[in-house]
């Protein structure tokens, strides 16, 4: 890994020599908490985050001459169990906490990590409430509104289109946030309040989208945002294919899941699909992402492709490790948090360049991807706008 200090980047060799390869005192340990739904309905998705954390731990098992111990807390995919789990984890006094999969479990934990002054890093939480008004919660993925903004930039700058459409599920706040950012960006940059030529709603779980698709066909828009859930988006794409529509549908990072490809019966391709992705295996690789991929394939098989959740889990662990190192010998959770806070922390990891904003949200590399031959293909790397 190559980590950037608060004033500049260091090489992987310097990073390792600086605090990974020091003589080890096997009796001295520091703890990093892993707060995840290891059982219950969300355990399968959480396992991807844990896989990334554990791979990073295998590569970097120590810091400052001390071994790192991962301490686990199972929130059991339940908000009531989550409260108990985070209390028990905090009692063990880790210097940082990673997780949880599922924004709601992180929100349950929020007041407790803030009170205990232990920094926590969410890995795939896209709900903005996780970090809002909490000086001790961070995240390494974009929120829903950021994804809408990124897709709008793709439509404007890469597709060179000045109009677009949106099919919005009713009663979905996350979808609304994504759609608002998408439409705001397109209207502002085209200086055209009518640039969104199609803005149609549907009820989640609907099976017939003929009415909405006919409007898209009539208005001749070529890019349409689908901020709803995976199943509805897959059904819309299949019906659009049956109608012969020449449209590219735009979606969030969940479209990189193989479940999405299966749900569309393999119809998705560059011809009709583009989505935000947090990690790219085939984009121009940095030294950091190359080492991550090599380690992953050595462990899981040559040609194995890590999910973005794995790369983000990996990055979350090494960020925590780097912050602990920079905080110094005898540091507290409050000291570790001081390294990460203030909008000055920079990190160059497996998923790209990350800078934490003053609110704990990332300003980071993103990828626009699609499906090709049963795998995810990167169409465009989008670097963050830095102020």
Q: What is the 3-state secondary structure (H, E, C) of 305-355?
A: CCCHHHHHHHHHHHHHHHHHHHHCCCCCHHHHHHHHCCCCCEEEECCEEEE
pLDDT, tens only, 267-287? 999 999 999 999 988 875 567
pLDDT, tens only, 219-261? 999 999 999 999 999 999 999 999 999 999 999 999 999 999 9
Quick check: 10 and 18 in contact, CB under 8 A? yes
Residue 12 CB-density burial (10 A; 0-12 exposed, 13-18 middle, 19+ buried): middle
What pLDDT is recorded for position 27? 58
* Per-residue tokens: 331: 């540091």
Task: Output the pTM of the full model.
Answer: 0.88
The angle that helices 230-243 and 210-219 make with each other, rounded to 10 degrees, is: 60
* Distance separating alpha carbons of residues 387 and 370, to the nearest angstrom: 29
- Are 12-142+284-356 and 144-277+370-382 the same fold in CATH? yes
What pLDDT is recorded for position 10? 38
Decide yes or no: CATH 3.30.1540.20 for domain 144-277+370-382: no
In the chain, which residues have pLDDT < 50? 1-24
Region of 113 (left: φ > 0; alpha: ψ -120 to 50; beta: rest) is: alpha
- The CATH architecture that domain 12-142+284-356 belongs to is 3-Layer(aba) Sandwich (3.40)
CB contact set of 279 (below 8 Å; sequence gap of 6+): 289, 306, 307, 308, 310, 311, 312, 350, 351, 352, 367
What pLDDT is recorded for position 284? 56
Residue position matching structure tokens 């190359």 = 290
The whole-chain average pLDDT of the chain stands at: 91
- Domain spans in the chain, listed from the N-terminal domain onward: 12-142+284-356, 144-277+370-382
Q: What is the 3-state secondary structure (H, E, C) of 70-137?
A: EEEEECCCCHHHHHHHHHHHHHCCCCEEECCCCHHHHHHHHHHHHHHCCCEEECCCCCHHHCCCCCCE
């Amino acid at each position: 890994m190559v980590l950037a200090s608060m004033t500049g980047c260091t090489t992987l060799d310097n990073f390792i020599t600086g605090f990974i390869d020091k003589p080890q005192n096997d009796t001295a340990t520091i703890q990093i908490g892993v707060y995840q739904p290891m059982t219950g309905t969300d355990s399968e998705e959480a396992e991807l985050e844990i896989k990334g954390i554990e791979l990073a731990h295998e590569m970097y098992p120590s810091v400052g001459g001390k071994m790192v111990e991962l301490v686990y807390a199972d929130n059991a995919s339940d908000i009531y169990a989550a409260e108990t789990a985070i209390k028990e984890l905090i009692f063990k006094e880790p210097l940082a906490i990673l997780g949880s999969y599922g924004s709601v479990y992180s929100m349950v934990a929020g007041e407790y990590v803030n009170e205990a002054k232990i920094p926590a890093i969410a890995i795939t939480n896209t709900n903005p409430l996780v970090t809002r008004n909490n000086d001790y919660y961070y995240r390494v993925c974009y929120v829903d509104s950021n994804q809408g903004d990124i897709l709008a930039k793709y439509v404007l700058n890469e597709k060179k289109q000045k109009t677009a459409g949106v099919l919005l599920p009713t009663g979905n706040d996350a979808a609304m946030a994504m759609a608002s950012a998408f439409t705001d960006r397109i209207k502002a940059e085209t200086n055209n309040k009518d640039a969104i030529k199609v803005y149609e709603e549907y009820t989640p779980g609907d099976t017939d989208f003929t009415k909405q698709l006919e409007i898209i066909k009539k208005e001749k828009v070529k890019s349409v945002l689908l901020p709803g859930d995976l199943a509805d988006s897959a059904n819309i794409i299949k019906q659009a294919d049956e109608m012969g529509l020449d449209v590219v549908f735009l979606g969030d990072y969940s479209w990189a899941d193989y479940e999405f490809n299966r749900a569309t019966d393999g119809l998705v391709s560059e011809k009709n699909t583009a989505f935000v992705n947090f990690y790219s295996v085939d984009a121009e690789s940095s030294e950091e992402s190359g080492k991550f991929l090599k380690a992953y394939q050595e462990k899981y098989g040559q040609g194995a492709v890590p999910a973005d959740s794995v790369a983000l889990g990996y990055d979350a662990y090494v960020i925590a490790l780097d912050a602990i190192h920079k905080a110094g010998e005898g540091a507290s959770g409050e000291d570790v948090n001081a390294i990460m806070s203030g909008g000055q922390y920079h990190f160059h990891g497996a998923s790209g360049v990350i800078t934490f904003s003053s609110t704990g949200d990332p300003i980071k590399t993103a990828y626009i991807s699609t499906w090709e031959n049963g795998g995810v293909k990167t169409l465009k790397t989008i670097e963050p706008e830095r102020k």
